[in-house]
Amino acid sequence: MGTARTGVTRRSTLLSLCALVLGPLLLITGCGFLALTACAPGDRDDPRPRATVPAEVLRALRTASTATRQAGSARVTAVMTMGDRVSTRTTGTLGWRDGLNGALTIRYTGGTLVGTLRGLDIGTTEARFVDGVYYARMSDAFAAGSGGRHWVRHPHDSSANFAPNQSVELLLAAPDTRRTGRETVRGVPATRYTGTLRPADLPTRGPAADESAELRAQLSAAGVTEERIDVWIDRAGRLVKRAERSETASGTLHSTAYYRHFGVRVAPVTAPPPADTVDYTALLPSQATQ
Protein backbone atom coordinates (compact mmCIF):
# COMPACT_ATOMS: atom_id res chain seq x y z
CA MET A 1 0.00 0.00 0.00
CA GLY A 2 2.82 2.40 0.86
CA THR A 3 4.44 1.92 -2.54
CA ALA A 4 1.14 2.46 -4.35
CA ARG A 5 0.42 5.61 -2.33
CA THR A 6 3.89 6.93 -3.11
CA GLY A 7 3.31 6.29 -6.81
CA VAL A 8 0.03 8.18 -6.71
CA THR A 9 1.67 11.11 -4.91
CA ARG A 10 4.56 11.21 -7.40
CA ARG A 11 2.23 11.15 -10.38
CA SER A 12 0.04 13.83 -8.81
CA THR A 13 3.11 16.06 -8.41
CA LEU A 14 4.19 15.47 -12.00
CA LEU A 15 0.67 16.17 -13.22
CA SER A 16 0.57 19.46 -11.32
CA LEU A 17 3.86 20.51 -12.93
CA CYS A 18 2.51 19.57 -16.36
CA ALA A 19 -0.61 21.64 -15.79
CA LEU A 20 1.51 24.69 -14.99
CA VAL A 21 3.62 24.14 -18.11
CA LEU A 22 0.86 23.20 -20.54
CA GLY A 23 -1.58 25.86 -19.34
CA PRO A 24 0.18 28.74 -21.12
CA LEU A 25 0.49 26.67 -24.30
CA LEU A 26 -3.23 26.09 -24.48
CA LEU A 27 -4.16 29.62 -23.53
CA ILE A 28 -1.83 31.35 -25.98
CA THR A 29 -3.37 29.52 -28.89
CA GLY A 30 -6.67 31.16 -28.26
CA CYS A 31 -9.16 28.90 -26.54
CA GLY A 32 -9.01 30.14 -22.96
CA PHE A 33 -10.74 27.89 -20.44
CA LEU A 34 -12.26 25.85 -23.26
CA ALA A 35 -8.78 24.90 -24.39
CA LEU A 36 -8.27 23.03 -21.15
CA THR A 37 -10.49 20.32 -22.61
CA ALA A 38 -11.57 21.12 -26.18
CA CYS A 39 -12.65 24.00 -28.36
CA ALA A 40 -16.35 24.17 -29.13
CA PRO A 41 -17.10 27.27 -31.20
CA GLY A 42 -20.63 28.51 -31.51
CA ASP A 43 -22.88 26.27 -33.58
CA ARG A 44 -24.56 28.52 -36.09
CA ASP A 45 -27.41 26.02 -36.46
CA ASP A 46 -28.24 26.25 -32.75
CA PRO A 47 -31.84 27.57 -32.60
CA ARG A 48 -31.36 29.72 -29.49
CA PRO A 49 -32.18 33.40 -30.04
CA ARG A 50 -29.20 35.61 -30.97
CA ALA A 51 -31.13 38.85 -31.32
CA THR A 52 -28.94 40.54 -28.72
CA VAL A 53 -25.90 40.36 -31.05
CA PRO A 54 -26.07 42.80 -33.98
CA ALA A 55 -25.92 41.14 -37.38
CA GLU A 56 -23.05 43.38 -38.50
CA VAL A 57 -21.00 42.24 -35.49
CA LEU A 58 -21.57 38.58 -36.37
CA ARG A 59 -20.62 39.23 -39.98
CA ALA A 60 -17.44 41.07 -38.96
CA LEU A 61 -16.36 38.30 -36.61
CA ARG A 62 -17.03 35.55 -39.16
CA THR A 63 -14.96 37.47 -41.69
CA ALA A 64 -12.21 37.92 -39.08
CA SER A 65 -12.19 34.22 -38.24
CA THR A 66 -11.76 33.34 -41.92
CA ALA A 67 -9.07 35.99 -42.53
CA THR A 68 -7.06 34.95 -39.46
CA ARG A 69 -7.27 31.28 -40.39
CA GLN A 70 -6.19 32.00 -43.96
CA ALA A 71 -3.22 34.11 -42.80
CA GLY A 72 -1.69 30.78 -41.84
CA SER A 73 1.05 31.91 -39.44
CA ALA A 74 2.24 34.73 -37.18
CA ARG A 75 4.75 35.75 -34.56
CA VAL A 76 3.25 35.56 -31.09
CA THR A 77 3.92 37.30 -27.78
CA ALA A 78 1.75 36.53 -24.76
CA VAL A 79 1.52 36.99 -21.01
CA MET A 80 -0.59 35.01 -18.54
CA THR A 81 -1.32 34.99 -14.81
CA MET A 82 -3.01 32.25 -12.79
CA GLY A 83 -4.20 34.18 -9.75
CA ASP A 84 -1.19 34.75 -7.51
CA ARG A 85 0.27 31.32 -8.30
CA VAL A 86 2.26 31.92 -11.45
CA SER A 87 2.78 34.37 -14.31
CA THR A 88 4.40 33.69 -17.67
CA ARG A 89 5.69 35.38 -20.81
CA THR A 90 5.64 33.42 -24.05
CA THR A 91 7.23 34.21 -27.42
CA GLY A 92 7.60 32.33 -30.69
CA THR A 93 6.21 31.66 -34.16
CA LEU A 94 3.19 29.51 -34.98
CA GLY A 95 1.70 28.20 -38.20
CA TRP A 96 -1.78 26.69 -38.46
CA ARG A 97 -2.41 25.77 -42.09
CA ASP A 98 -2.11 21.98 -41.63
CA GLY A 99 -2.36 21.45 -37.91
CA LEU A 100 -0.47 23.63 -35.47
CA ASN A 101 3.28 23.86 -36.10
CA GLY A 102 6.10 25.92 -34.64
CA ALA A 103 7.99 26.56 -31.42
CA LEU A 104 7.44 28.72 -28.34
CA THR A 105 9.55 29.69 -25.35
CA ILE A 106 7.73 30.12 -22.02
CA ARG A 107 9.38 32.00 -19.15
CA TYR A 108 7.96 31.83 -15.64
CA THR A 109 8.19 35.39 -14.39
CA GLY A 110 6.43 35.56 -11.03
CA GLY A 111 3.96 34.10 -8.55
CA THR A 112 4.09 31.99 -5.43
CA LEU A 113 5.05 28.82 -7.34
CA VAL A 114 7.95 30.28 -9.32
CA GLY A 115 10.44 29.36 -6.60
CA THR A 116 9.26 25.75 -6.71
CA LEU A 117 9.44 25.64 -10.50
CA ARG A 118 12.92 27.14 -10.60
CA GLY A 119 14.03 24.77 -7.88
CA LEU A 120 13.07 22.01 -10.31
CA ASP A 121 14.94 23.82 -13.10
CA ILE A 122 11.72 24.80 -14.89
CA GLY A 123 12.28 28.54 -15.10
CA THR A 124 12.01 28.39 -18.90
CA THR A 125 10.19 25.82 -21.02
CA GLU A 126 10.43 24.98 -24.71
CA ALA A 127 7.24 23.99 -26.51
CA ARG A 128 7.04 22.32 -29.91
CA PHE A 129 3.97 21.94 -32.09
CA VAL A 130 4.45 19.25 -34.71
CA ASP A 131 1.66 18.28 -37.14
CA GLY A 132 -1.05 19.28 -34.68
CA VAL A 133 0.53 17.58 -31.66
CA TYR A 134 2.32 19.57 -28.99
CA TYR A 135 5.17 18.79 -26.63
CA ALA A 136 6.56 20.54 -23.55
CA ARG A 137 10.20 20.21 -22.46
CA MET A 138 10.50 19.51 -18.74
CA SER A 139 13.59 19.27 -16.52
CA ASP A 140 15.98 16.59 -15.30
CA ALA A 141 14.15 16.69 -11.96
CA PHE A 142 10.90 15.89 -13.77
CA ALA A 143 12.58 13.15 -15.79
CA ALA A 144 13.79 11.52 -12.58
CA GLY A 145 10.14 10.80 -11.73
CA SER A 146 8.93 9.97 -15.23
CA GLY A 147 11.16 7.11 -16.30
CA GLY A 148 13.94 9.38 -17.49
CA ARG A 149 11.71 11.20 -20.01
CA HIS A 150 11.97 14.97 -20.41
CA TRP A 151 9.15 15.74 -22.84
CA VAL A 152 5.39 15.64 -22.24
CA ARG A 153 3.17 14.94 -25.22
CA HIS A 154 -0.34 16.32 -24.91
CA PRO A 155 -2.86 13.71 -26.08
CA HIS A 156 -5.18 16.03 -28.05
CA ASP A 157 -3.87 15.67 -31.58
CA SER A 158 -6.71 17.95 -32.70
CA SER A 159 -4.72 21.03 -31.70
CA ALA A 160 -5.36 22.50 -35.16
CA ASN A 161 -8.51 23.71 -33.37
CA PHE A 162 -6.24 25.91 -31.26
CA ALA A 163 -5.43 28.29 -34.12
CA PRO A 164 -5.80 31.95 -33.00
CA ASN A 165 -9.06 32.40 -34.91
CA GLN A 166 -10.75 30.22 -32.28
CA SER A 167 -10.92 33.23 -29.93
CA VAL A 168 -13.05 34.91 -32.59
CA GLU A 169 -15.15 31.76 -32.89
CA LEU A 170 -15.77 31.74 -29.14
CA LEU A 171 -17.22 35.25 -29.37
CA LEU A 172 -19.71 33.92 -31.90
CA ALA A 173 -21.06 31.66 -29.14
CA ALA A 174 -21.37 34.46 -26.56
CA PRO A 175 -24.86 35.99 -26.27
CA ASP A 176 -23.67 39.54 -25.48
CA THR A 177 -20.92 40.03 -28.07
CA ARG A 178 -20.58 43.66 -29.14
CA ARG A 179 -18.23 46.11 -30.82
CA THR A 180 -16.65 48.37 -28.21
CA GLY A 181 -14.70 50.85 -30.30
CA ARG A 182 -11.49 51.42 -32.23
CA GLU A 183 -8.02 51.34 -30.69
CA THR A 184 -4.39 51.18 -31.78
CA VAL A 185 -2.59 47.93 -30.95
CA ARG A 186 1.18 48.33 -31.12
CA GLY A 187 0.86 50.83 -33.92
CA VAL A 188 -1.88 48.94 -35.80
CA PRO A 189 -5.41 50.44 -36.05
CA ALA A 190 -7.93 47.83 -34.86
CA THR A 191 -11.57 47.35 -33.91
CA ARG A 192 -12.31 45.82 -30.52
CA TYR A 193 -15.07 43.27 -29.84
CA THR A 194 -16.08 41.99 -26.42
CA GLY A 195 -18.26 39.23 -25.02
CA THR A 196 -18.74 36.90 -22.05
CA LEU A 197 -19.15 33.16 -22.53
CA ARG A 198 -20.56 30.78 -19.92
CA PRO A 199 -20.89 26.99 -20.13
CA ALA A 200 -24.67 27.37 -20.53
CA ASP A 201 -24.06 29.38 -23.71
CA LEU A 202 -22.56 26.40 -25.55
CA PRO A 203 -24.72 24.78 -28.26
CA THR A 204 -27.54 22.51 -27.16
CA ARG A 205 -28.48 21.28 -30.63
CA GLY A 206 -26.79 20.62 -33.92
CA PRO A 207 -23.51 18.84 -34.78
CA ALA A 208 -21.65 20.13 -31.69
CA ALA A 209 -24.32 19.23 -29.12
CA ASP A 210 -22.75 16.01 -27.80
CA GLU A 211 -19.29 17.55 -27.50
CA SER A 212 -20.74 20.61 -25.79
CA ALA A 213 -22.62 18.53 -23.23
CA GLU A 214 -19.43 16.72 -22.25
CA LEU A 215 -17.55 20.00 -22.14
CA ARG A 216 -20.13 21.62 -19.87
CA ALA A 217 -19.79 18.73 -17.43
CA GLN A 218 -15.99 19.05 -17.42
CA LEU A 219 -16.14 22.80 -16.90
CA SER A 220 -18.60 22.36 -14.06
CA ALA A 221 -16.28 19.86 -12.38
CA ALA A 222 -13.39 22.36 -12.73
CA GLY A 223 -15.48 25.15 -11.22
CA VAL A 224 -15.33 27.30 -14.36
CA THR A 225 -18.17 29.81 -14.39
CA GLU A 226 -17.44 32.25 -17.20
CA GLU A 227 -14.89 33.75 -19.56
CA ARG A 228 -14.63 37.35 -20.74
CA ILE A 229 -13.16 37.57 -24.25
CA ASP A 230 -11.81 40.67 -26.02
CA VAL A 231 -10.37 40.59 -29.53
CA TRP A 232 -8.84 43.34 -31.66
CA ILE A 233 -9.21 42.98 -35.44
CA ASP A 234 -7.07 44.93 -37.92
CA ARG A 235 -8.25 46.47 -41.19
CA ALA A 236 -7.43 43.25 -43.04
CA GLY A 237 -9.75 41.33 -40.71
CA ARG A 238 -6.96 39.55 -38.81
CA LEU A 239 -6.68 39.02 -35.07
CA VAL A 240 -3.88 41.23 -33.73
CA LYS A 241 -4.64 40.98 -30.01
CA ARG A 242 -6.64 38.69 -27.75
CA ALA A 243 -7.38 39.07 -24.03
CA GLU A 244 -9.27 36.52 -21.94
CA ARG A 245 -10.28 36.45 -18.29
CA SER A 246 -11.60 33.19 -16.87
CA GLU A 247 -13.37 32.80 -13.53
CA THR A 248 -12.63 29.40 -11.98
CA ALA A 249 -12.96 27.73 -8.60
CA SER A 250 -9.24 28.38 -8.06
CA GLY A 251 -9.40 32.08 -8.88
CA THR A 252 -9.14 34.36 -11.88
CA LEU A 253 -6.96 33.54 -14.87
CA HIS A 254 -5.84 36.31 -17.25
CA SER A 255 -4.13 35.89 -20.63
CA THR A 256 -3.24 38.37 -23.36
CA ALA A 257 -1.66 37.53 -26.71
CA TYR A 258 -0.40 39.67 -29.61
CA TYR A 259 -0.10 38.44 -33.20
CA ARG A 260 2.02 40.13 -35.88
CA HIS A 261 3.94 39.41 -39.10
CA PHE A 262 1.13 37.29 -40.53
CA GLY A 263 2.25 34.81 -43.15
CA VAL A 264 5.77 34.61 -41.71
CA ARG A 265 7.81 31.52 -42.51
CA VAL A 266 7.68 28.97 -39.69
CA ALA A 267 10.96 27.15 -39.14
CA PRO A 268 10.42 23.39 -39.22
CA VAL A 269 10.56 21.58 -35.89
CA THR A 270 10.69 17.87 -35.17
CA ALA A 271 9.01 15.77 -32.54
CA PRO A 272 11.20 14.76 -29.58
CA PRO A 273 12.50 11.17 -29.55
CA PRO A 274 9.78 8.73 -28.41
CA ALA A 275 12.19 7.28 -25.84
CA ASP A 276 12.40 10.73 -24.22
CA THR A 277 8.65 11.43 -24.31
CA VAL A 278 5.78 10.58 -21.95
CA ASP A 279 2.07 11.04 -22.71
CA TYR A 280 0.17 13.45 -20.47
CA THR A 281 -2.48 10.73 -19.93
CA ALA A 282 0.16 8.46 -18.38
CA LEU A 283 0.47 10.97 -15.52
CA LEU A 284 -3.24 11.11 -14.72
CA PRO A 285 -4.23 9.82 -11.26
CA SER A 286 -6.47 7.17 -12.82
CA GLN A 287 -3.38 5.61 -14.37
CA ALA A 288 -1.42 5.53 -11.14
CA THR A 289 -3.11 2.44 -9.78
CA GLN A 290 -2.90 0.43 -12.98
The dihedral over CA atoms of 115, 117, 120, 124, expressed in degrees to the nearest 10, equals -120
Strand partners, 127: 104, 136
Q: What is the pLDDT of residues 120-173, one digit of tens each?
A: 777 888 889 888 788 888 888 888 878 889 998 875 544 444 568 878 887 887
Q: What is the pLDDT of residues 25-44, one digit of tens each?
A: 554 444 444 443 333 344 44
Beta-carbon contacts of residue 39 (< 8 Å; ≥ 6 apart): 31, 161, 162, 166, 169, 170
Q: What's the pLDDT band for 277 if we cut at 50, 70, 90?
A: very high
pLDDT at 35: 40
pLDDT at 165: 81
**Nearest C-alpha neighbor of 251 from the set 90, 112, 76, 79:** 112
CA separation (Å) from 95 to 16, 88, 164? Answer: 28, 21, 10
